[in-house]
């Protein structure tokens, strides 16, 4: 009996000691959830470095709310279940105040249930297929209406394209984007036989047959373009094959949504001259903020040849919006930060402003760039800021749905305008 008592007393003392230690350090913890190993490390490592750079810069300015920021970096190793596990670790063990992370849709989908359960806050910096608006995630990359549709509009008007090849890697983003584009093109009077859709697996390396059929499709006497949602590794052999089969940008321009400066740094871009990409940011954008950002990045990474790209800008915007909201709310508490985020405007890197919208997306300009011989893009078109639309208007099921987390009457990420109900979500 006596022994038991001493034991529990000792335990209590230990527990006390433990808790005091964890309270002693008063910092704002920022979780970084990007794969540092595995297949996605190629792209995601850059974003980890971007967040670390932003944190360093913010700390140099004196941190936030008088506290220093502290980065907690974890490696989900391109393993999707691991994303969920690491999110739980960040939120419960490390008790971070915000997370910057994810690249692929599947990693975001994996994180979603955990971050909603634990009421965390995440900024997601990559263009994606839309059809989602979580209470706990802010999407600073492009929704389909901020990338795909303006790009098609550009081709329709500038290059008078009549025939379309929608080529993509077989996963959700291309599938959804192509569904939306198909509906959009048909609404613009393009006939079904003038649209060719082709899907290839991840890392597809033998493009002979597909490029040849694109060539065949494009030789019907109408101006033809390829809208490419081909992802990552498959792009190099795709463009090489295009070049070798003699398809130039003047014959059949290819507009890509997943090829940016960083991807081009692994290419010999001479045969690609004039092919297009649509993003919300290019390194070649002329603005003061951008040249400052570029030199900051080059100095931070200690490599003069490193390039900047669109997801980096999205990270930049997300971080600044969060920092501003924290200052405005005077707290890092998730709900307070969330409600002060709505309507916040921060400068983007293309000379304009990004506004955080009640549907957790942001407003972004759409830029179309032509690939240059030096691996950079020459901007040939730029729209004013377009508001990000979580639920596309071009698919029947999702046209009924809207998202608004600010309006207390809706307060939902998927509010059905017809049934006036918010399905599924349990908040």
Partner 1 sequence: MKNLIAGIVGVWLVALCGPVTAEAADNGSLRAQLQHFSGLNYRQKKAAVEGLATIESESTLPLLQALLGGEIYFSKTDNSQFYQRRESGAEVQFSPLLGDQLSPGPTAAIKPSSLRKLRVNNAVRKALRQAIAAVQLRVGSEAERLAALETMLGKLDDEAYLRLQQLQPQQSSAAVQDQFQLVLAVHQLGAADSAQRLAALGPLAGRLEPQVRAAIQQAIEAFADDRAFVAEASAALAKTEQRIGFYRFVETLFFGLSLGSVFLLAAIGLAITFGVMGVINMAHGEMIMLGAYTTYVVQLLMPAHLQYSLLVAVPAAFLVSGLFGVLIERGVIQFLHGRPLETLLATFGISLILQQLVRSVFSPLNRQVASPSWMSGAVELNPVLSLTLNRLYILAFSLLVFMLLVYLFKRTNLGLNVRAVSQNRAMAKAMGVKTGWVDALTFGLGSGVAGVAGVALSQLTNVGPNLGQSYIIDSFMVVVFGGVGNLIGTLVGAFSLGVANKFLEPLTGAVMANILVLVFIILFIQKRPQGLFPQRGRAAE
Partner 2 sequence: MTSLYQRLSKLRGHGNVSSAVLVILLFTSVYASVCNLLLPEDSVFYVSTYTITLLGKYLCFAMLALAVDVIWGYCGILSLGHGAFFALGGYGMGMYLMRQVGDRGVYGHPELPDFMVFLNWQQLPWYWQGMDMFWFALLMILLVPGLLAFVFGALAFRSRVTGVYLSIMTQALTYALMLAFFRNEMGFGGNNGLTDFKDILGYNLQADGTRVSLFIITAFCLAMAFLLSRSIMQSRFGRVVLAIRDAEPRSRFVGYRVERYKLWLFVYSALLAALAGALYVPQVGIINPGEFAPLNSIEVVVWVAVGGRGTLYGAIIGALLVNYAKTRFTAIWPDAWLFMLGALFVFITVFLPQGLSAYVAAKWQQYRHAKSTSKGAQHEPC
Q: Which residues bind partner 2 (CB under 8 A)?
A: 11, 14-15, 18-19, 36-37, 74-75, 77, 79-81, 84-85, 88-89, 92-93, 104-106, 109-110, 112-114, 117, 131-132, 170-172, 175-176, 179, 199, 201-202, 395, 397-398, 401, 413-414, 416, 419, 421, 423-426
Largest alpha-carbon pair distance within the chain?
95
Shortest distance, CB of residue 60 to partner 2, whole angstroms?
26
Backbone angles phi, psi at 45, to 5 degrees: -55, -40
Query: What letter does residue 91 receive in the DSSP assignment?
Result: I
- Answer yes or no: are the C-beta atoms of 275 and 371 closer than 8 Å: yes
Would you count residue 243 as binding partner 1 (CB under 8 A)?
Answer: yes
**Residue 85 found at the interface with partner 1 (CB under 8 A):** no
For residue 386, what are the contacts with CB-CB under 8 A and spacing of at least 6?
145, 146, 150, 363, 364, 365, 366
370 near partner 1, rule: CB under 8 A: yes
Cα 224 from Cα 164, distance rounded (Å): 6
- Whether residue 313 contacts residue 349, with contact meaning beta carbons closer than 8 Å, is answered with yes
Minimum gap (Å) between residue 201 Cβ and partner 1:
5
Comparison of 120 and 150: residue with beta carbon closer to partner 1: 150
Judged by beta carbon, residue 383 or residue 411, the one nearer partner 2 is 411
Distance from CA of residue 256 to its chain's centroid?
A: 15
Q: Which is closer to partner 2, CB of 397 or CB of 407?
A: 397
Q: How far is the CB of 393 from partner 2 (least distance, A)?
A: 13
Site string for partner 1, 394-423 (x = CB under 8 A): -----x--x---------------------
Residue 382's binding partner among partner 1, partner 2, none (Cβ under 5 to 8 angstroms by kind) is: partner 1
> CB of 89: closest distance to partner 2 in angstroms?
6
The CA R_g of the chain, rounded to the nearest whole Å, is: 23
Q: Residue 244 or residue 295: which is nearer to partner 1 going by CB?
A: 244
Could you tell me the two tokens for 42?
A: 């190629």
Of 371, 358, 412, 165, the residue nearest 282 (C-alpha): 371
Q: Which of 376, 382, 416, 425 contacts partner 1 by CB under 8 A? A: 382
DSSP bridge pairs for 347: 353
289 part of the interface to partner 1, by CB under 8 A = no
**41-60 helix and 288-301 helix, angle to the nearest 10 degrees:** 110
């Amino acid at each position: 009996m006596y022994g038991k008592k001493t034991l529990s007393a000792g335990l209590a003392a230990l527990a006390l000691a433990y808790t005091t230690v964890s309270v002693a350090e008063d910092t704002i913890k920022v979780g970084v959830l990007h794969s540092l190993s595995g297949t996605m490390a190629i792209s995601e490592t850059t974003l980890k470095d971007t967040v670390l750079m932003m944190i360093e810069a913010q700390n140099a300015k004196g941190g936030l709310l008088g506290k220093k920021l502290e980065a907690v970096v974890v490696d989900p190793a391109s393993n999707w279940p691991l994303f969920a596990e690491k999110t739980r670790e960040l939120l419960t063990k490390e008790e971070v105040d915000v997370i910057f992370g994810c690249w692929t849709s599947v990693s975001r989908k994996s994180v979603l249930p955990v971050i909603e359960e634990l009421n965390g806050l995440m900024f997601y910096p990559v263009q994606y297929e839309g059809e989602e608006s979580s209470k706990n995630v802010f999407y600073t990359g492009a929704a389909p209406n901020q990338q795909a549709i303006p790009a098609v509009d550009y081709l329709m008007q500038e290059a008078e394209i009549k025939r379309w090849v929608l080529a993509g890697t077989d996963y959700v983003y291309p599938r959804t984007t192509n569904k939306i584009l198909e509906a959009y093109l048909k609404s613009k009077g393009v006939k079904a036989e003038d649209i060719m859709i082709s899907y290839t697996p991840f890392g597809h390396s033998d493009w002979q047959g597909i490029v040849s059929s694109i060539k065949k499709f494009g030789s019907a006497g109408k101006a033809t373009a390829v809208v490419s949602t081909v992802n990552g590794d498959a792009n190099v052999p795709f463009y090489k094959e295009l070049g070798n089969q003699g398809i130039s940008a003047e014959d059949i321009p290819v507009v890509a949504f997943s090829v940016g400066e960083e991807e081009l740094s692994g290419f010999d871009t001479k045969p690609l001259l004039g092919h297009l990409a649509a993003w919300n940011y290019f390194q070649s954008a002329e603005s003061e903020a951008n040249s400052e950002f570029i030199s900051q990045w080059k100095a931070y990474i200690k490599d003069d040849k490193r390039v900047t790209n669109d997801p980096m800008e999205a990270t930049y915007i997300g971080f600044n919006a969060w920092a501003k909201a924290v200052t405005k709310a005077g707290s890092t508490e998730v709900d307070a930060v969330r409600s002060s985020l709505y309507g916040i405007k921060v400068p983007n890197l293309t000379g304009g402003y990004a506004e955080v919208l009640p549907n957790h997306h942001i407003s972004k300009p759409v830029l179309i760039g032509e690939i240059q011989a030096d691996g950079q893009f020459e901007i040939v078109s730029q729209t004013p800021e377009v508001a990000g639309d979580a639920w596309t208007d071009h698919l029947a099921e999702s046209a009924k749905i809207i998202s608004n987390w600010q309006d207390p009457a809706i307060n939902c990420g998927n509010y059905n305008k017809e049934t006036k109900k918010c399905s599924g979500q349990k908040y």
